[in-house]
Amino acid sequence: MIMILGDEPPEPYDQSRGTCPVCGSGQVTHHPLGGPDPHLDEEDPPWVQWQGCLLVFSDRTCEDCGAGWNVEHDEEEDDEE
């Protein structure tokens, strides 16, 4: 089978849910940019809420304490230390 670049089958959302850095709760909601792939057979986990093309707040929020944070920004700060 020959696959043309950009013709790869879609990948399901595979980020782990993680825990809140403030309270330690596992009730974390992800807010990724974009939208779910309509060609994907699997549904995303219920804690993934696609935001379209504009992220107006944090990309993760805690359902328990209300904290919000950005995964990429937090990883960059860890690398600088």
Residue 51, pLDDT score: 84
pTM above 0.85, yes or no: no
**Mean pLDDT within 25-35:** 90
* More confident position, 79 or 26: 26
Q: Which residue has better confidence, 72 or 76? A: 72
Give mean pLDDT, residues 46-53. Answer: 86
Find the Cα–Cα–Cα–Cα dihedral 25, 56, 36, 24, rounded to 10°.
-10
| Rounded-to-integer distance, Cα 24 and Cα 27, Å | 9
